[in-house]
Structure 1
Amino acid sequence: MITLNKKKAFNNYETTLIIKPEQTEEDTVRIRLIQTYKNTNNSHGASKIFAQNKGRNHLTYLIKKYSDGIYVQINYEANGQIVKKIEKIIRFDEKITRHLTIKNNNYLIKQQASCYI
């Protein structure tokens, strides 16, 4: 976390979730799951939350005996403590087979570049 003039600066993060393929494409459970994580991010203090459903994809290797998975990408601005809380919630969710959170510096660069054009 970066501190500027005694104010906490948030970093941009990208979390990718792989949901079990038992959920269908139009399943309301999956839509509720996305809304749940958006609300969780918002309630813990994250901002600029953008969730995107990437759809069903074939996995290159089996994960928990599944060959397919539904990918969901969530971009948000938060600090490291919020990310730890969100990952803890994700770890205990049985519908999610894998997750990955990265610090996304390219998002900030693209945003700044679009302002100067």
Structure 2
Amino acid sequence: MLHVHKEYSIMAVGPKMYETAFIVNAGLDDPQIEAVIEKVKETLTKHSGTVVDINKWGRKRFTYPIRKKNNGFYVIMEFSGPGDLVAKLERHYQLDENILRYLTIVMDKRALKAKAQRIAEAAAAAAAEPARIVDPAAEAVPTAPVAAPAVATEPKKEVNS
């Protein structure tokens, strides 16, 4: 009799969550970097993937040169999709000369639950904190002219001779 583990059957049903990090050549202009990021998004959606989140870290200096470059533009992207999507995405990375390095990992279910819990807690904390409306006129404290500080003088002591 074939035993199928319950967690495995649940994982096999839905698309997996992935996180990919890639470094774009920082020598490009901002519109060109955005075009490279858009090409990655198009590759994902073309092969039945769904982009969940994009986090742009910006330009960073390398500790050692990569392809004779000293700087790169870091991008972290979370997406979901079928298992063969990763191979197609990494093939795209290899063909694009503006992508210097890349790494794609499968996101752990426990990490996803912890992240969802952190987001929910942050949203609950933001909702629980009352919105404070700041009235600039009410907070302006009228200032009185400051008098010059008084000079403290000590009384003279008489010396008995």
Give TM class, smaller chain: 0.7 to 0.9
Q: Give the structure with higher Rg (CA).
A: 2
Higher relative contact order (Cα pairs below 8 Å, separated by 6+ residues): 1
What whole-Å deviation, never above 9, does each CA across 1:74-105 have from its counterpart, x for those lacking one?
11012221111111111110001100111122
State the alpha-carbon separation in 1 of the partners of residues 105 and 15 from structure 2: 14
The aligned counterpart of 1:18 is 23
**Structure 2: which amino acid aligns with 1:22?**
G
Q: Contact 1:3–1:9 at 8 Å: present in 2 too?
A: no
Q: Per-residue deviation at 1:112?
A: 5.3
Out of 84, 88, 102, the position equivalent to 2:91 is: 88
State the alpha-carbon separation in 1 of the partners of residues 49 and 57 from structure 2: 22
Alignment of 1:1-117 (within 5 A): 3-4=9-10, 8-24=13-29, 27-105=30-108, 106-111=111-116, 114=119
Q: Per-residue deviation at 1:10?
A: 1.6
Bigger mean CA offset, 41-50 vs 57-66: 41-50
Give the TM-score taking structure 2 as reference length: 0.61
State the alpha-carbon separation in 1 of the partners of residues 21 and 95 from structure 2: 16
State the alpha-carbon separation in 1 of the partners of residues 56 and 120 from structure 2: 27
State the alpha-carbon separation in 1 of the partners of residues 112 and 83 from structure 2: 17
Q: Contact 2:41–2:51 at 8 Å: present in 1 too?
A: no
State the alpha-carbon separation in 1 of the partners of residues 55 and 114 from structure 2: 20
The unaligned stretches of length 5 or more in structure 1 are none
SS in 2 for 1:75: strand
State the identity %: 27
Q: Per-residue deviation at 1:107?
A: 2.9
Distance change in 2, residues 1:78/1:66 (3 Å):
same
The unaligned stretches of length 5 or more in structure 2 are 1-7, 125-161
Q: Contact 1:52–1:74 at 8 Å: present in 2 too?
A: yes
What whole-Å deviation, never above 9, does each CA across 1:11-43 have from its counterpart, x for those lacking one?
21111111112113xx21111111121121112
Structure with higher strand content? 1
Q: How many residues align?
A: 113
